[in-house]
């Protein structure tokens, strides 16, 4: 297992090493895996390469952080509420609604981009943060993930809370969400990683430079003339794009593992 983990980590190690390589080591043949003379020059070159833009590089970082955080927070609440209703309250037509949600999993996001754009454009939300956030709030996979976990929670736990006089809102927040940390921690991980790395939505729903996210800015930097000279800057940009998802995963991995062991959900 250690050997397998080490082999899996090789691309990440190479990416980190490349981000700190001086320009002469970037074009060595055969390529050198580890950096011999680490430098921060690539990060300064990244800032220099974006100086010609109408917005500072920090704006791209802010857009990515704000949009990803907003999507994760709102999606967690909306999808958890929807999954709780389908799993425990079971309103009329719950099975049909869940079947529609499952059928939505068969479609790739790119397939629904045209109707989604028409809706966003019709609402007058193009070139706004809402255009990047609202289409990602009610995600079929997130609802499916939360419902499958809620189905494992004993109904006796909810009945005991009802006997104690707790309202449905109190039961949801203080009982269901409290014992569902593995589910919502997993949702946060997948949702943040998917939305942080998404450049397609910003490309479709925005035309203003001030609305670009970090992955789209890096993709733009990777095109056009002079891309060879910007290889170091691109390596630094790739490192910056990849770092937050790794940190988020490491932070919530422990929460998922510990809660899976100590949540006490047993029948």
DSSP designation for 221:
H
- One domain for residues 10 and 79: no
- One domain for residues 200 and 95: yes
Which residue from 93, 73, 76, 50 is spatially nearest to 214, judged by alpha carbons?
A: 50
Let me know if residue 226 belongs to a domain.
yes
- One domain for residues 74 and 9: no
Which residue from 193, 234, 192 is spatially nearest to 217, judged by alpha carbons?
A: 234
Residues 6+ apart with CB under 8 A from 111: none
- One domain for residues 31 and 161: no
Let me know if residue 45 belongs to a domain.
no
Let me know if residue 48 belongs to a domain.
no
- One domain for residues 179 and 220: yes
pTM, 2 dp: 0.82
Let me know if residue 46 belongs to a domain.
no
Q: What is the pLDDT along the chain (267 residues), one digit of tens a residue?
A: 999 988 988 888 888 888 888 877 877 778 788 888 888 888 887 777 665 566 788 888 899 999 999 999 999 999 999 999 999 988 999 999 999 998 988 888 778 888 999 999 999 999 999 999 999 999 898 999 899 888 888 888 889 998 988 888 999 998 898 888 888 888 888 899 889 988 888 888 988 888 888 888 887 776 655 555 567 778 888 888 888 888 888 887 776 665 555 444 444
Q: How many domains are there within the chain?
A: 2
Give the range of the structural domain holding residue 8, as residue numbers without chain letter. 1-38
- One domain for residues 115 and 155: yes
Place of tokens 């494992």: 152
Let me know if residue 112 belongs to a domain.
yes
């Amino acid at each position: 297992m250690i050997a397998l983990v080490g082999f899996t980590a090789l691309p990440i190690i190479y990416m980190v090493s490349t981000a700190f390589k001086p320009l002469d080591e970037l074009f060595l043949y055969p390529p050198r895996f580890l950096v011999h003379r680490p430098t921060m020059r690539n990060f300064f070159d990244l800032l220099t390469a974006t100086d010609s833009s109408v917005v500072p590089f920090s704006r791209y970082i802010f857009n990515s952080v704000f949009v990803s955080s907003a999507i994760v927070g709102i999606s967690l609440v909306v999808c958890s509420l929807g999954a709780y209703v389908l799993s425990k309250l079971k309103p009329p037509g719950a099975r049909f609604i869940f079947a529609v949600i499952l059928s939505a999993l068969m479609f790739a996001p790119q397939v629904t981009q045209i109707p989604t754009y028409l809706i966003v454009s019709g609402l007058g939300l193009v070139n706004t943060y809402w255009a990047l956030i609202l289409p990602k709030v009610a995600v079929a996979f997130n609802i499916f993930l939360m419902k499958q976990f809620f189905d494992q929670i004993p109904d006796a736990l909810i009945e005991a809370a009802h006997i104690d006089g707790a309202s449905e809102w109190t039961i949801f927040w203080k009982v269901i969400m409290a014992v569902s940390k593995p589910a919502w921690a997993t949702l946060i991980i997948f949702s943040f990683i998917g939305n942080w790395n998404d450049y397609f939505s910003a490309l479709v729903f925005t035309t203003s430079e001030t609305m670009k996210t970090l992955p789209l800015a890096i993709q733009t930097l990777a095109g056009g003339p002079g891309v060879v000279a910007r290889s170091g800057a691109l390596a630094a940009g790739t490192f910056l794009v990849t770092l937050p998802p790794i940190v988020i995963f490491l932070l919530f991995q422990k929460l998922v593992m510990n809660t899976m062991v100590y949540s006490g959900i047993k029948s």
